[in-house]
Structure formats: C-alpha cells, structure tokens
Amino acid sequence: MPKKWCRMFPGLAWQVAEARHFVAALLEDEGSDLVDDAVLVVGELAANAVRHTRSGWYRGWFLVVVGFSDDLVRIEVIDRGSDEEPRVRSVTSPAEEGGRGLMMIAACAKDWGVKDRPAGCRCVWADLPRVTA
C-alpha cells in the first residue's frame, strides 16, 4: 500500500518555502534522489496556488499531498480554485511574462495534470519517477 503524507498551509507567499521544506524533509527521510525535482515541483505548484487562485485570498489555504509508491512519487497541491485553468505558457511569446513553471514541471515529471475537486477546489499533480537500483 502506498504511503501518503499531507499538510495544509495558509495561502501566504512565504508559506511556499515552508511547503518546499516539508516535501524535502519527506523525501530525505525516504532516502530519495528526487529531492531537487520534488522541491521544484511543489514550489511552482504552491506559488501558483497562492498567486493565481482563491488560495491567496483572505483566509485562503493550499494542501500539499505527497504519495510514495514503488515506482513514483506523486506531488499534489490542492488549491481553492479559480476561474482560469492552469496551462503551460509559450516560451516564444514575449507578451506573456512568467508562467513558465508548468513547463519546468512537465520537463522533470513523468506526467502531470489537473483535476477538479469538490467545493470548487482544484488539484494540480505531478508524478516523479523513482530510480530503482
């Protein structure tokens, strides 16, 4: 049975660093070589939650879930939702500032996606492949 850990964070910009520390500590305890990729993923997803969803509003929050299976580490950030759908931005479009985080996640993850949750919340997830020796 896969192990799963979760922690809720206030929807404040400085809590993104706390989310990164949480994930790093979990992966270090597992002896994982995915710490850097996992920290990048949770940092981008948590920052997006605070910046682009109702998680960054008054009394907002986001939830980080880390699941361990034999071949994957799944990182999920559940936010309070927004009217905009998360999307990968174009690298070549000078009109779009920022927005490259999902592109970085897509580059280091085996797969990633978005799923709607109850009460208007949304989950953005990424699967990182575990290297077997």
pLDDT digits (tens, 9 = 90+) for 39-56: 999 999 999 999 999 999
Strand partners, 123: 78, 115
- Return mean pLDDT, the chain: 88
> Residue 89 — very low, low, confident or very high, per pLDDT cuts 50/70/90?
low
Instruction: Find the mean pLDDT for residues 70-80.
Output: 95
Percent of the chain at pLDDT > 90 equals 65
Share of the chain above pLDDT 70, in %: 87
Tell me yes or no: is domain 3-129 CATH 3.30.70.100: no
pTM of the model: 0.87
Please determine, for residue 70, whether its predicted confidence score (pLDDT) is greater than 60. yes
Q: With both helix axes pointing from N to C terminus, report the angle between 35-52 and 15-29 in degrees, rounded to the nearest 10.
A: 150
pLDDT at 130: 86
51: nearest Cα among 22, 74, 80, 21: 80
pLDDT, one tens digit per residue, over 7-32 is: 999 999 999 999 999 999 999 877 77
Domains of the chain, residue spans? 3-129
